[in-house]
Amino acid sequence: MSIIALDIHPQCKFSCFAANDKQCVHHPHEIVPELNYQSTFADKRVLVESQPDNHLHDFCSSFFQRHDTPRFLQESDSHFSQYVQHCQSNGLLSGLPNPADYDYSIETDSILHGACFHDTCEHVSNGLVQWLHSHHTHTIIVGGLTTEHAVRKTVEQLCRIKTWQVIVNLGACRGYTPKSTLNAIYSMRAAGAHVVADASALPQILAGSPFAARRTA
């Protein structure tokens, strides 16, 4: 019986308006310590990455051809692609393991999709659910970006399968707005997920899990 930590789209692109279709998550790097901490309770750690967007390099290149040093870069430490040669939009947030060091990794076609399927109709599996079953998963701890899109969708997909419990660590998640984030939390709870404020709540939940006795047996 295994506990799996699931890191969903923990990528720099979410702090960049250019890379993220003119939306921005504030301070996404703050999820890194929580993602790393929640992984200490897990047997394996899984990475879900959003596939690279080919238009990003062209967008950033054309932007900086028009603006030598944009004012917002002079006045803030925004991650807005900075200079095109340093753009790390699809790279992982600093402080996370190298992708090759995760126990398993998959790519999704969109930042809006859940992590379990390739398509919005949820007809084409990407292998994540099968991998979780093959490792006798009983608990999945979820964190990542963004709360109202990929995290929510993934949690709803996972909760339909009643063979494991799903825990959402809000400390390891960020959303675009307070309202949309709150709506996502309601949706995930309604789907059957445990939602906790941060990873400090995990020991109590895991100890009270119906799978705990089987795990220690």
Look at residue 214 in the predicted model and tell me its pLDDT. Answer: 54
Look at residue 62 in the predicted model and tell me its pLDDT. Answer: 55
C-alpha span between 93 and 24 (Å, rounded):
15
- List the one residue out of 115, 87, 165, 98 whose CA is nearest residue 8: 115
Look at residue 54 in the predicted model and tell me its pLDDT. Answer: 52
Mean pLDDT for back-to-back runs of 10 residues, the chain (217 residues): 96 69 80 98 96 56 51 44 51 94 91 80 85 97 96 97 96 95 98 98 90 54
- List the one residue out of 118, 101, 56 whose CA is nearest residue 81: 56
C-alpha span between 199 and 125 (Å, rounded):
29
Q: If you ran DSSP here, which 8-state letter would residue 38 be given?
A: H
Residue 157 contacts residue 23 (beta carbons within 8 Å) = no
Domains in the chain (CATH in brackets) are: 2-53+91-216 (3.40.50.850)
- Among all chains, which residue has been given the structure tokens 């947030």? 93
Question: Which residues have CB under 8 Å from 36's CB, separation 6+?
Answer: 95, 96
DSSP H helical segments within 67-141, as ranges? Answer: 71-75, 128-134
C-alpha span between 100 and 68 (Å, rounded):
36
Look at residue 84 in the predicted model and tell me its pLDDT. Answer: 44
Burial class (CB in 10 A: 0-12, 13-18, 19+), 210: exposed
Look at residue 90 in the predicted model and tell me its pLDDT. Answer: 74
C-alpha span between 65 and 117 (Å, rounded):
38
C-alpha span between 185 and 177 (Å, rounded):
12
Handedness of CA 180, 182, 184, 187 (dihedral sign): negative
Amino acid sitting at position 74: Q
Look at residue 24 in the predicted model and tell me its pLDDT. Answer: 79
Look at residue 123 in the predicted model and tell me its pLDDT. Answer: 76
